[in-house]
Chains A and B, each alone.
Chain A
Amino acid sequence: MSAWWAVLGGAAACYLLKLAGLSVPASVLDRPLVRAVADRLPIALLAGLVAVQVLAGDRGVVLDARAAGLLAALGLLLLRAPFLVVVVGSALTAAALRHVGLMS
């Protein structure tokens, strides 16, 4: 039941944020403080998500096949691979390492 609250509450919030952007006068974004924070928020959040998704374990930070998958993604991005190739590449790397038993 609690998951439904997150799904519906989160969806409502996300929709209202989209609508707010289309409806708010552009002058709000012209405020330097709003612009300075808003411009950086996606970077910090996504970087935090990458770190937590890849390195967080049950008790603190762990290095496992997910980190190898991220390294593969990094390499593919440097080679200018498209989005889907990056995603599939990181999955295959982690899966292969687990399959041969090299990493958990």
Chain B
Amino acid sequence: MSDRPLEPHAEPHAEAQRRVVRDSLGVGIATGLYGASFGAVSVASGLDVLQTCALSLLMFTGASQFALVGVLGSGSSAVTGALTAALLGTRNTLYGLRLAPLLGWRGARRIGAAHLVIDESTAMSITRPSRALARTGFLTTGWSVFVLWNLFTLLGAIGGAVLGDPRTYGLDAAVGGAFLALLWPRLQDHDGRRLALAAAAVALLAVPLVPSGLPVLVAGGVALVVGVLHARREAP
């Protein structure tokens, strides 16, 4: 099971494994259920049920999926939609950089594992003290989110088509709330809050000036500018 010998005083291995599985399943279930609101929002934005399910199966990263259907729903081009989704997906690249040495997978296993690199599977594995526990957290969270997210996307898409205008149920407001919740951990320090407020302000200023979908990319430009300035200041 374990590729590292146990510390003499560490929590017994089987018990630690059970705890990681239990916590991961909890996160997986809570996140997976949320797929229903993605399904409903996606259909309300004008995608059909098949396209909606294809997104959850093939893209499988929530913020990018919401962004893509939001951008398409506001009438923007496919290129803008795909680009916005990809830009939001860049954080999974950073997760991968941190996960790679921890999980230690190569070849086909790495190619398969890459699909499961998302916020939740990363969060449930990077804090683990051993490779075995990290792998357990990653796989349990990743798979449980994947199965439930896709199942509930389908249910939400079908239900959304039956229920009609999602604004009646406040689903358009739910997306804003979800993004704020995803952003929340990064707003705990002063720099994060300042950057977020600046980016939001820039996006709103851009709304009447550029086609919809682009304001979010313009907001991403704020990160580029601030990041470059910061790196210059830090440089010797």
A interface residues, Cβ below 8 angstroms from B: 2-15, 17-24, 26, 28-29, 32-33, 35-56, 59-61, 65-66, 68-70, 72-74, 77, 82-84, 86-96, 98-99
Contact = CB atoms under 8 A, between A and B. Distances in A.
A95 B37 CA distance: 14
Nearest to A97: B170
B86 A26 contact: no
Chief secondary structure at chain B's binding surface: helix
Contacts, number: 323
Interface of B: 30-31, 33-34, 37, 46-47, 51, 54-55, 58-61, 63-64, 66-68, 70, 72, 74, 77-79, 81-82, 85-97, 99-101, 103, 105, 110-111, 113-115, 117, 167-184, 186, 192, 195-204, 207-208, 212, 215-216, 218-224, 226-228, 230-231, 234-235
Nearest to B212: A56
Contacts of B222: 44, 48
**In this complex, which of A39, A51, A55, A65 has the most chain B Cβ atoms within 10 angstroms of its Cβ?**
A51
A15 B115 CA distance: 6
A83 B172 contact: no
Contact of B97 (A12, A28, A50, A54): A28
A73 B96 contact: no
A90 B82 contact: no
Contact of B215 (A40, A56, A77): A56
A45 B111 contact: no
Contacts of A47: 183, 195-197, 199-200, 203, 219
B226 A69 contact: no
Contacts of B114: 15, 18-19, 21-22
Nearest to B116: A18
Contacts of A84: 30, 33-34
Contacts of A23: 96, 100, 110
A47 B60 CA distance: 21
B180 A26 contact: no
A21 B82 contact: no
7 A-B pairs with least C-beta separation: A21-B96, A48-B219, A69-B173, A90-B177, A37-B227, A94-B170, A94-B173
